[in-house]
Amino acid sequence: MKAPSNGFLATSGEGEQKRINSELWHACAGPLVSLPQLEVLWCTSLKATVAASMQKETDFIPNYPNLPSKLICMLHNVTLHADTETDEVYAQMTLQPVNKYEKEAILASDMGLKQSRQPSEFFCKTLTASDTSTHGGFSVPRRAAEKIFPPLKLYWIGFFNATTCPGLMAKDLHDSAWTFRHIYRGQPKRHLLTTGWSVFVSTKRLFAGDSVLFIRDEKSQLLLGIRRANRQQPALSSSVMSSDSMHIGILAAAAHAAANNSPFTIFFNPRASPSEFVVPLAKYNKAMYTQVSLGMRFRMMFETEESGVRRYMGTITGISDMDTVRWKNSQWRNLQVGWDESTAGERPSRVSIWEIEPVVTPFYICPPPFFRPKFPKQPGMPDDESDIENAFKRAMPWLGDDFGMKSASKLYFPWFKFGAVDEHATK
């Protein structure tokens, strides 16, 4: 079965399929993707997500008055899949809305948030033009090759020697085995995958900008996956129209399920969906305890090249529903934000409260400017600067009446300064 092109759709059950390796699936999905476990979910703003995924105005989306802007659902099942043509990963979820009595009990319970397990040993590389050449090979970073690949052996090849592994085998998401020749040679020396690599590139239809990743799973077997670069979709076609029809179908299915408390099925494509719309209830509740306001600073995690992550800083500039009529109070992408860095054009202008980490500025009690602290007066101590000068003259009468206090301080105590300490002298 083909994966949904833009994130999700409603469908009936399907035949039995081969089990996908969970670690490889999560590695291909990305470091920020965390699938919910078998627990209660807050399914929010399906209508908004449909509009964003289809890149349509909301006027083109049918309105279902009986479909609330958010649903509390039980997650009955999650299965992992990969498209047989593109290797895009997606997940199938079976959800069932809860009735009002179950909802009250669920909201009163304390449900912890579980995280999906990401592979610990893997590397990801964005392909260059040289990597995708039919006459070239795949250049592997040295540290990654030494950590992930099996040890190399020294062989004599003609009049020179080279370190090589004639049969490096890795399995993809469909459990198909790919064999490459791994060598370490050249000036300067580098790790290369040669024989077998061009076949893999042409079969998977890889281009510069796509990413390839290798992982070692918990059983120490070598696995291979790919991530497609985000490219402009082709002109409107019948397949796109069909996809739009299937996307709109989820609204009808969800509305029927909400009215009858019946199960419904969605497909979630983590690389194509514009934002998380099926949220663990514990994560949602935690976010709801966070008070946000205009001008509040926050951090948000984003994926970077080579499967890295980075926090970007921003400021909340507005708080409003995306559509006050169709999905009022959904909290899905209801925060308007501005980003600090010049890459703001690549960041969304709207985010959800459960996606951000508010930055709370510490509150310090500081004295106002030009504030001079007052200390309790000690018995026998002079009141002001003139009394201090008179006391100084009485102690040293040879200075004379016309000899000021400040002159005396400079003569006998060059480091002493009234009102403040000379910083340069005390260093």
Tokens describing residue 408: 């005396």
DSSP-assigned letters across all residues of 46-95: HHHHHHHHHT--GGGSPP-TTS-SEEEEEEEEEEEEE-TTT--EEEEEEE
| pLDDT for the residue numbered 388 | 58
Which amino acid is residue 324, in one-letter code? Answer: T
DSSP label of 33: -
Backbone angles phi, psi at 90, to 5 degrees: -155, 165
3-class DSSP assignment, residue 426 = helix
Per-residue pLDDT of the chain (427 residues; tens, 9 = 90+): 454 544 443 333 444 457 899 999 999 998 888 887 766 666 665 555 555 555 555 555 667 777 777 888 888 899 999 999 899 999 988 999 888 777 777 766 655 555 556 667 889 999 999 999 877 789 998 888 989 998 887 655 554 455 666 678 999 999 999 999 998 887 888 899 999 999 999 999 999 999 999 999 888 899 999 999 876 554 433 333 335 555 566 777 888 888 888 998 888 888 877 567 788 888 888 888 888 999 999 999 988 877 778 899 999 999 998 777 777 777 888 899 999 976 656 788 999 999 999 997 765 555 555 445 555 555 555 555 566 566 555 655 555 555 444 444 444 444 444 444 444 444 4
Task: Calculate the CA dihedral of residues 394, 399, 404, 410 and round it to 10 degrees.
Answer: -110
| pLDDT for the residue numbered 391 | 59
Report the chain's terminal Cα–Cα distance, integer Å: 76
| pLDDT for the residue numbered 190 | 87
Pairwise CA distance, residues 40 & 103, whole Å: 10
Pairwise CA distance, residues 231 & 272, whole Å: 11
Give the list of residues 6+ apart from residue 40 with CB closer than 8 angstroms, or none.
72, 73, 74, 75, 98, 106, 111, 280, 281
Would you kindly state where each structural domain of the chain is located, as residue ranges? 22-118+232-358, 128-208, 385-426
Its CATH class, for the domain covering 128-208, is: mainly beta
| pLDDT for the residue numbered 159 | 45
Pairwise CA distance, residues 211 & 129, whole Å: 12
**Cα diameter, the chain:** 110
